[in-house]
Amino acid sequence: MSVNQATARTGEISTLSPLQGRDCLTLLDFTPREIQGLVDEALGMKQAWKEGKADRPLTGKTLAMIFDKPSTRTRISFETGMAQLGGHPLHLNRGDLQLGRGESLPDTARVLSGYVDAVLIRTFSHEAVEELARHASIPIINGLTDLHHPCQALADLLTLKESRGRLAGLTLAYIGDGNNMLHSLLEAAAATGIHLRAATPQGYEPDPAIIRRARKAATRTGADLYFTSDPREAATGADAIYTDVWASMGQEEEKERRIRDFAGFQVDPALMSLAKPDALFMHCLPAYRGLEVSAEVIDGPRSIVFPQAENRLHAQKALLAALIG
Q: Determine if residue 151 is labeled as part of a ligand binding site.
A: yes
pLDDT tens digits for 186-197?
Answer: 999 999 999 999
Whether residue 80 sits in one domain with residue 43: yes
24 is catalytic: no
122 is catalytic: yes
8 is a domain residue = no
For residue 71, what pLDDT is reported? 92
- Out of 148, 283, 312, 314, the active site residue is 312
Whether residue 304 sits in one domain with residue 270: yes
CATH number of the CATH domain containing 143: 3.40.50.1370
Q: Determine if residue 75 is labeled as part of a ligand binding site.
A: no
166 is catalytic: no
Work out the pLDDT band at 216, boundaries 50, 70, 90. Answer: very high
Whether residue 318 sits in one domain with residue 287: no
Whether residue 298 sits in one domain with residue 166: yes
Report the domain count for the chain: 2
For residue 12, what pLDDT is reported? 38
312 is catalytic: yes
5 is a domain residue = no
The residue-averaged pLDDT of 63-77 equals 95
- Out of 68, 117, 126, 152, the active site residue is 152
Whether residue 200 sits in one domain with residue 117: no
For residue 17, what pLDDT is reported? 66
* Domain housing 119: 17-148+312-324
Work out the pLDDT band at 5, boundaries 50, 70, 90. Answer: very low
- Out of 122, 183, 197, 314, the active site residue is 122
Q: Determine if residue 4 is labeled as part of a ligand binding site.
A: no
- For the four alpha carbons of 262, 268, 270 and 272, in that order, the dihedral sign comes to positive
At residue 4, does pLDDT exceed 60? no
Q: Determine if residue 244 is labeled as part of a ligand binding site.
A: yes
